[in-house]
Structure formats: C-alpha cells, structure tokens
C-alpha cells in the first residue's frame, strides 16, 4: 500500500506587522516613539513661547518709546513764544524725554527720530557741541537711513556755521551730495552757493546754482537760484564794446620847431 507525500502549502505565513491596518501601525509607532515625540513637542512649545515673549517685549518697548517721543515732541512744539522762561523749561523737558528714548530704547523705530530731535533741541538750547555729538551719534548708529542721514548732515553744517567754522560747515553740506537717496540735496546746493557768495567767490556760487537748476528743476530753490544767477552774471559781465582807456600822461609843452630861412617874396619890385 503506497503512502502519499504531503506537500506543504506554498503560501508563506504573513508577518504580524502586515496583518495590522494603517491606523494600527500609526498607533503602534506613536507608542514606540512617544518619549521622543513628547520631547520634540516640548521643545517646540518652549521655542514658540520664547519667540512670542520676545515679540511681546518688543511691542511693549516700542509702545513705551513711541509714547515718550510723542510727549517730548509736545513739549518741543508747544513752547510759548511770549514766555521765554516757560519756553526754556519745556525745551529742557523735551531734551530729557528725547534722551530717555535714546538711552533706553535705541533699537525701537522711535530711536532714530528721538536722536535727531535731541540734536535739534540741544542746538536750540545753545548747547551746540552737545548737539553736534548727538548728530555724530546718529551717523554712527543709524547711518543706513539715507533720508534722515542727509537731514542730520545738513543740521551739522548749520551747527558749524553757528560756531563760525565755515570749513567744517562746507564739509558737512558737501557730504550730503554723496548720500544716495538724500532728499535735501537741492537745499544743500543752495546753502553751498550762498556760502560761496559770502566769501566773494562768484564762480563757485554760479557752479552750485547751475547744478541746482539742472538736477533739481522742480525744487522750490530753483527759481531763487535762477534769480541769483542773473544777478551774479550781470555783476561780472563786461560789455565787449567797452574798451578800457589807459590813463593819459600829463600834457607836456611841444618843442617849437626852429625857424627856417625866409622864403623870397614872389612879388617883383
């Protein structure tokens, strides 16, 4: 009697992981990685809290700086013209508030404006050297702001004029012309031309006036520059028809010619 050989089934036994559904596999993964996930989530929460705290702090400091700037500007702008003592007191309060913004909140949007206005207020209070130092500090901290930088350099020029230092004033005014994006180049050219006129240098004044009219034709200073050009050209013009007459030597008596031999008379006797 023969025996039949039992052949094992060709179907492989499925692995237990393959029998799990997608959701079950995801749950299984979460259980295995729960510690790492908890740590990562905690780090994310801490980072978000830090960023949120920094943003909130920046917002609060910006608000405080803006309020101080507004208060200082109120003192500065509302000085009474008919009460010098009260006006000086308000100017001092404005300087104190501007300085507070500059010292405590230099990185806020109010910082550059406060430092600029601080220099202006110090100049107005006859603290010229302190004002120049404030302007120089602005150039050091906020030199990337071309609009305000040009105005600051112009104020430096005025401050040096107040000290009768024309050379430094010209240097400060001229530096504005090298600042890309400066909005006050027309004003500075006009100031440079006036300085040349004051020093009896009409050629230099005409050069600045012509530069102003050529590069800034729509400037409110262009019309005044045109007037000054006509005045200077009229003063320096020499008509071609006018020839200078040299001074004549004093009159000298002419030498008398020696009398020649008498001519014979043509009439016969």
| CATH code of the domain containing 106 | 1.25.40
State the pLDDT confidence band at 269, using cuts at 50, 70 and 90. very low
State the pLDDT confidence band at 141, using cuts at 50, 70 and 90. very high
The answer to pTM > 0.85 is no
Q: Is the pLDDT of residue 209 over 90?
A: yes
Which residues span the domain enclosing 96?
39-142
Q: What is the pLDDT of residue 147?
A: 82
The C-alpha atoms of residue 106 and residue 100 are separated, in whole angstroms, by: 9
User: How many residues in the chain?
Assistant: 269
* Residue 97 located in a structural domain: yes
Q: Is the pLDDT of residue 202 over 80?
A: yes
Q: What is the pLDDT of residue 235?
A: 85
Q: What is the pLDDT of residue 266?
A: 47
Question: What is the arithmetic mean of pLDDT over 159-177?
Answer: 96
* Residue 213 located in a structural domain: no
Q: What is the pLDDT of residue 175?
A: 96
Q: Give the model confidence (pLDDT) of 8-42 as tens digits.
A: 555 555 455 554 566 666 666 667 776 676 667 67
* Residue 64 located in a structural domain: yes
Q: What is the residue-averaged pLDDT of the chain?
A: 83
- % of the chain residues with pLDDT over 90: 62
Q: Which two tokens stand for residue 89?
A: 């007191």
* Residue 24 located in a structural domain: no
Least confident range of 9-13, 19-23, 165-169, 198-202: 9-13
Least confident range of 20-29, 114-123, 204-213: 20-29
State the pLDDT confidence band at 255, using cuts at 50, 70 and 90. very low
Q: Give the model confidence (pLDDT) of 39-61 as tens digits.
A: 676 776 766 666 666 566 577 88
Q: How many domains does the chain contain in total?
A: 1
Q: What is the pLDDT of residue 15?
A: 53
The C-alpha atoms of residue 171 and residue 66 are separated, in whole angstroms, by: 34
Question: What does the buried/exposed string (b/e) look like for 56-95 if buried means 16 or more CB atoms within 10 Å of the residue's CB?
Answer: eeeeeebebbbebbebbbebbeebeeeeeeebeebbebbb
Residue 133 CA: distances (Å) to CA of 153, 156, 168, 241, 258? 12, 9, 14, 57, 90
Q: Which two tokens stand for residue 202?
A: 């009409």
- Whether residue 228 contacts residue 201, with contact meaning beta carbons closer than 8 Å, is answered with no
């Amino acid at each position: 009697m023969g025996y039949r050989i039992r052949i094992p089934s060709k179907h492989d036994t499925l692995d237990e992981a393959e029998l799990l559904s997608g959701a079950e596999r995801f749950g299984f993964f979460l259980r295995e990685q729960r510690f790492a996930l908890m740590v990562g989530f905690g780090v994310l929460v801490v980072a978000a809290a830090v960023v949120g705290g920094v943003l909130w702090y920046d917002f609060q400091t910006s608000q405080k700086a803006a309020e101080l700037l507004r208060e200082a500007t109120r003192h500065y702008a509302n000085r009474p013209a008919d009460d010098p003592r009260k006006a000086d007191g308000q100017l001092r309060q404005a300087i104190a508030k501007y300085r507070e913004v500059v010292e405590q909140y230099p990185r806020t949007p109010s910082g550059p404006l406060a430092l600029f206005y601080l220099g202006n207020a110090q100049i107005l209070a006859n603290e010229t050297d302190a004002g120049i130092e404030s302007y120089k500090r602005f150039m050091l901290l906020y030199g990337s702001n071309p609009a305000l930088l040009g105005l600051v350099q112009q104020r430096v020029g005025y401050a040096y004029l107040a000290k009768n230092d024309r050379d430094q004033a010209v240097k400060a005014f001229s530096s504005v012309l090298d600042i890309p994006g400066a909005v006050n180049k027309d004003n500075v050219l006009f100031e440079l031309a006036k300085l040349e006129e004051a020093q009896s240098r009409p050629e230099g004044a005409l050069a600045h006036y012509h530069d102003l009219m050529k590069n800034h034709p729509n400037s409110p200073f262009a019309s005044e520059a045109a007037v000054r050009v006509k005045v200077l050209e009229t003063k320096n013009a020499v008509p071609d028809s006018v020839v200078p007459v040299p001074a004549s030597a004093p009159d000298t008596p002419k030498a008398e010619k020696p009398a020649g031999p008498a001519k014979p008379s043509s009439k016969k006797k």
